[in-house]
Amino acid sequence: MLSIALIIAITLVCAALLLSLLRLLIGPDEPDRVLALDTLYINTIALLVLLGILLDSDLYFEAALLIAMMGFVGTVALCKYLLRGDIIE
């Protein structure tokens, strides 16, 4: 039962990844692309967690935590760039 649920879930998350990628490609404005990147990394965390449950391995947790932290920092840095035109003054 769990394996069927996991297959459904992984399919849904992959579809979500494709939709975010679509938004990343068509834009049309810069904030749209940054938002798409933000959504992409959160979807990646979802995929990693599902993979961890599927393979019954605890190792993917560290990767998920690191992606969460780095992704947030990246989004904030990109927003600062959009607001000011440069990151380090």
Partner 1 sequence: MTEIAVSVLVVVGALFTFIGSLGLARLKDFYTRLHGPTKATTLGVGALLVASVIHFSSGEDMPSLHELLVTLFLFITAPVSALMLAKAALHLRVRSAASLLSGTDDDADAGEQSG
Q: Which residues bind partner 1 (CB under 8 A)?
A: 1-2, 4-6, 8-10, 12-13, 15-17, 19-20, 22-23, 29-32, 34-36, 38-39, 42-43, 45-46, 49-50, 52-53, 58, 61, 64-65, 68-69, 72, 75-76, 79-80, 82-84
Amino acid at 59: L
Q: Which residues 6+ apart lie within 8 Å of 78 measured at CB?
A: 34, 37
CB of 74 to partner 1, least distance (A): 10
Query: Counting every residue, how long is the chain?
Result: 89
CA angle 86, 33, 12 (to 5 degrees): 145
CB of 46 to partner 1, least distance (A): 5
